[in-house]
Structure 1
Amino acid sequence: MDLLFFVLLSSVIHGTYGRATGAGSGSCESLIPKHSDIESQPADTSPWTVTPSATSYTPGQTIDVTIQASGGQQYIGILLQARPAGSNVPVGTWVTNVADTKLKECTNADDSVTHSSDSLKPVTTTFTWIPPSSNAGSIAFHATFVADYATFWADVTSVYISYSTSKTLYLILYMATSKNNNHKNNSNCVVVFLKTDTPLPVVYYLIGDST
């Protein structure tokens, strides 16, 4: 009888207090841990900030997302996603090299990051986000941090980053020393290639001697 009671009690404790191996699927949309009726701390009081390494994203170019504690506090649990404005569906995929964390599928494979144990995570952790292959609009990074069973901050959000396509701007400068309009054999012709990440059309500038 005592053994049966111990087994049942252990099951209750694990089911109520334990998500030591990662956030459950029930938290994918709400970002709220299933900790009975305990409410989240206000997101704007979170000891951790979520900061992307860029202000825009381009398909094929990864972005680092850094979790930084304002003090020395360490979290034990995390759920991290990239979401378009007005949506609760994560986009893109992740790479993690942070100890005791792993990738999770909420809607698509590897679209979320969560913890794999309840160990204390470093004060600063960085995860790598791979953008989707097409324009998903403005994106913010949403995270939930668990300090202990009774204390967590849900849906702590980064600034928004915008979609950008990488264009190459060709600036062609013809620097003529001769008044002859035929510059084919002009040794002073200079071609300069400038790279910009702003979504601008390709523009050609021709500067030369018009006489």
Structure 2
Amino acid sequence: MQLLLFVAVWLQILSTVAGYPNGAPVDRCGNMTPGHNVLPQTSSSPYTIMISNNTFRPNEPIRVMIEGPVYLGVLLQARSSSGTDAIGTWGIPPPNTKYLACSGNGQSAITHSSIINKNNKTIYTWIPPESLQTAFIRATVVANRTTFWINLTSERLTRAPGGGGNTAADAKMAAASVVFLTLLSSMVVQ
């Protein structure tokens, strides 16, 4: 009986020490704080969330990198400037990462799938939705179980002028503009 109690206590300790080696659970989507029973770092983060472009077009991928030392764990989301829900979708997760279904969308976040080192050569791909005007990438980066930073943010992403939307309507508007300019030029010539 004592042996069984000893094993049970050690298993509990090991599960607490390990954190979430297979990725963040869905209940961490909102505040993005790991359940490691340790407070996040308050010092300046050695990690920077880098994006390939500050402007976006709907459905055109934006590359996201985490620059800094190697890291073991990650939770990545895109959020609108006015909300807390994960928005858009992520492309195929890089090795040792996986999708996390935040905000009811199965591909709305990325988390680690193992605690194998990741580095600034690990590239994530975020795909903006049609209805979005501004966004930013938010991340939690875990260096090790007791050392992590939460709510790291990228620079602001802004929809490019003429950045898509209703492409059928845009094509009709462009065709109408050509017809109008052709008629206008023919009237000026006469």
Measured against the shorter chain, the TM-score band is 0.7 to 0.9
Distance 1:79 1:31, change over 3 A: same
Look up the match of 1:177: none
Q: Secondary structure at the match of 1:124?
A: coil
The 1:86/1:99 distance shift into structure 2, 3 A limit, reads same
The residue type equivalent to 2:41 in the other structure is Q
The TM-score, its normalising length taken from structure 1, stands at: 0.72
Aligned length: 172
1:175-194 pair list within 5 angstroms = none
RMSD: 2.4
How far 1:63 moved relative to its partner? 1.2
Aligned partner of 2:81 in structure 1 is 85
Whose relative contact order is higher, 1 or 2, with alpha carbons under 8 Å and at least 6 apart? Answer: 2
- Counterpart position of 1:130: 127
Shift in Å, 1:62: 1.2
Give the C-alpha shift of residue 96 in structure 1: 3.6
Could you list the per-position Cα deviations for residues 81-122 of structure 1 after superposition, in whole angstroms to 9, with x for gaps in the alignment? 000013110101112442211111011111000000111112
Alignment match, 1:42: 42
Q: Please, which runs of 5 or more residues in structure 1 have no aligned partner? A: 168-200
Matching residue's letter, 2:42: P
Counterparts of 1:34 and 1:48 in 2: how far apart (Å)?
A: 20
Name the counterpart of 2:167: none
User: Of residues 106, 111, 120 in structure 1, which corresponds to 2:108?
Assistant: 111
Letter of the structure 1 residue corresponding to residue 111 of structure 2: T
SS in structure 2 of the partner of residue 113 of structure 1:
strand
Given candidates 149, 154, 170, the residue that maps to 2:145 is 149
> Which is richer in strand?
1
2:123 counterpart SS class: strand
**Aligned-partner SS, 1:54:** coil
Deviation at 1:60, TM superposition (A): 2.2
The separation in 2 between residues aligned to 1:49 and 1:93, in whole angstroms, is 21
CA pair 42-96 structure 1, distance change in 2 beyond 3 A? farther
Q: What is the SS of the residue equivalent to 1:91?
A: coil
Runs of 5+ consecutive residues of structure 2 not aligned to the other structure: 165-172
Q: 1:128: Cα distance to partner?
A: 0.7
Which one has a bigger Cα radius of gyration? 1
**Aligned partners of 2:83 and 2:163: how far apart in 1?**
25
Map of 2:158 onto structure 1: 162
Q: CA deviation at 1:50?
A: 1.0
* Aligned counterpart, 1:61: 60
Q: Is the 8 A contact 1:23 1:79 kept in 2?
A: yes
Counterpart-to-counterpart distance in 1, 2:5 and 2:92: 41
Q: Percent identity?
A: 30
Q: CA offsets, 1:27-59, max 9 Å, x none? A: 1110111122x222237x222211111222222
